[in-house]
Structure 1
């Protein structure tokens, strides 16, 4: 019997994946492994591969996520649910699963390669003080399209953040991290509220909405994803997520009782002479809650003080991080916001050029990635030995009988 977070057909898919595992030894020969270039989850490795073909035109790059099932045996059901969702949900802004199989003690999930990596990767390597506004608008627009689709299918993502947003060199944005998704359709009925507490809640405290963390009798709905989107907007703009350095208890107090997070620019960051930041202590202000001196806060704030974000971007973020979910627009309504409307649908040139001007290397061209030589076949020995070392109140008009937003008022 499928539970409320497991859609009809999920159990059948589990059996399919189990059956696939018996054929894994033969199926992995269809791939050539090239290099290990990243880490996923707690102990997973991301491998660069191509599908073996006699036609050179078919040699597109793929990403293979390999998990040691002995290290994460408690997560197997979540992995299988993610595979099911990636295979059965189809949208241009959602990462899909091309293949999955088991070799020995390793689960392998094959997906298309999104060659710039995640938005968090780009922040850490090229945009330490945050992305330009036009890039953020392009990214959030596509993430919103993915959320509109997910919500229309009855799913709450529950893990929207920069590390789950993948960006390609062609300007395609894909949302991943579906292992935390939760189905709000139970026995054919759409639930107005759910009460499930995410397994990885501690790792996602910064991004999870207050109503998800409160676990009260009101529960939460798909608008919890809108709060996470607002936190992600701050993360993309500031280069660091709000609350990120706060202890869990103080984080929860600030999230429930403190001022809402906001994006940093000359209108929200105080001048240098008025900033008080204690060494290794969380900054206690409504402007930059949750960032300590060890987050390179001085440099970040100085860079933020030199820039100005548009009024529509400030209002967009403020709408998303409203404490009361009833005051947040839905994903479909947010697509009509002036900030999102500033990026035309189907046009990526006006924000992608900011990335191409910096000459960001694609994953397949990264020279630092350990390459596996003289072993063109994707075999179990390579999978087992592949390792990766990781260096460590918007002016709004809300109708009481219908949700009608006037973003221009």
Structure 2
């Protein structure tokens, strides 16, 4: 069957047959659908932004589409097409079978992903970051919900609407002072220097701090500072407190009991052991001073990434999670019955936050 390469500039909504709702994004102001690209027969994801609801975020949608379509990297989500249909702006993307890393944590790995899966995903994200930084951009929104995983087992970085340029007037800036718009959902992942907004400013190393938070998020099942007030979160970051991977080397049973049950952890968490290399990698990313953090390319040279050469493929590591299969929806009779597809338990399409 022909594949959809996205090179046609004459795309319109009638070229797509909607199969079912995958979830929502952009603070629930946009919906994501599973759809079939009729000319090629390929399954894709369609994001529909309702511009009447977004209003103040129109510039973000526009900048994300423009920037994403300028980028070309295997670990950055690709936009096949972008077009207007009524009051909606529609964007066609590849169907990422496992959804986001946040979806994987919520549905299948409440206590965190296996270490080899974490390393594989972070390697792909760092590869994308090297490319983005070399292109002169800071991402500013790296988090698990902005990391999508394909059915083949490669990770793609999304969420480019928060990115900002490092280059101004043809010159590479040593520091940036602009604060990302509508960034409340990203605060827990942002670096202390970005949040401080002082005279020193920040640079692309702020993305490295976010990588450290994502490492904790993928390993622990939830991001650091979750449930904490924004003021206390900022205070803790500014004073240099480093979040940690939760295992038997960082949390003892006695400490868990002393907590009064507020952060009660399972026996699995208290007995597991992450490698020294993963602890070290996380600590390097979360250094308080941005100049003490390695660059994305330096992180990729870390010995931990050599270990995944001997590990299982990512789809094997993510079991029992199963990806949406490209075969879904090829049956015309099934596509006529949306209710039937929504009720197929193996798809698990509902209540999904594809927040990219």
Give TM-score scaled by structure 1 length. 0.76
The residue number in structure 2 matching 1:6 is none
The residue number in structure 2 matching 1:215 is 197
The residue number in structure 2 matching 1:362 is 324
1:320 matched to 2:320? The reply is: no
The residue number in structure 2 matching 1:31 is 16
Q: Which blocks of at least 5 consecutive residues in structure 1 are unaligned?
A: 1-19, 280-292, 376-387, 393-409
1:298 matched to 2:298? The reply is: no
Quote the offset at 1:390 in angstroms: 3.8
Shift in CA distance, 304/73, structure 1 to aligned 2, threshold 3 Å: same
1:230-379 correspondence runs (5 A): 230-257=212-239, 259-272=241-254, 275-278=257-260, 293=262, 297-300=263-266, 302-344=267-309, 349-355=312-318, 357-362=319-324, 373=336
Contact 1:160 1:207 in 2 (8 A): yes
Q: Distance in 2 between matches of 1:155 and 1:70?
A: 29
Q: Which blocks of at least 5 consecutive residues in structure 2 are unaligned?
A: 1-8, 339-348
Q: Distance in 1 between matches of 2:337 and 2:126?
A: 43
Q: Distance in 1 between matches of 2:256 and 2:66?
A: 52
* Aligned partner of residue 70 in structure 1, secondary structure: helix
Contact 1:335 1:341 in 2 (8 A): no
The residue number in structure 1 matching 2:157 is 175
Quote the offset at 1:215 in angstroms: 0.3
Q: Distance in 2 between matches of 1:134 and 1:169?
A: 17
Quote the offset at 1:364 in angstroms: 6.2
The residue number in structure 2 matching 1:378 is none
Q: Distance in 2 between matches of 1:136 and 1:49?
A: 29
Encode CA deviations 1:261-300: one digit per residue, 9 max, x unaligned. 0101100012146533357xxxxxxxxxxxxx4xxx4245
- How many residue pairs align between the two structures? 330
Q: Distance in 2 between matches of 1:219 and 1:273?
A: 37
Shift in CA distance, 364/351, structure 1 to aligned 2, threshold 3 Å: closer
* Aligned partner of residue 89 in structure 2, secondary structure: strand
Shift in CA distance, 373/299, structure 1 to aligned 2, threshold 3 Å: farther
